[in-house]
Structure 1
């Protein structure tokens, strides 16, 4: 979780979008494995919204399966 935060989750406004999407997907996976479904869903919603704004869905390859 600490490394994912360092990859951009701690400051999403200053992180490259593709890196942020991949880190978000990994963090969602981690939260789900810990039984934190509500936190995982909230993070997935925010991350998908960022990818949607950019409209470059290839960047969401690591995120989309976890968000679904």
Structure 2
């Protein structure tokens, strides 16, 4: 048995307009973050410059 749900027009439009949340910040991969850290910048400084959270910067510096 298949359950079918009719989606109201407003809900369908909202679903189509959603943005992808998990996206990479351009130019700030793990290698770039490690390079900035080796120059003496703090994780907080890098996060502020990249527009990322401190946790994201810490996680990315561990990945190649």
Do these two structures clear the TM 0.5 threshold for a shared fold by scoring above it? no
Question: Quick check: which has more Rg, 1 or 2?
Answer: 2
Higher helix share: 1
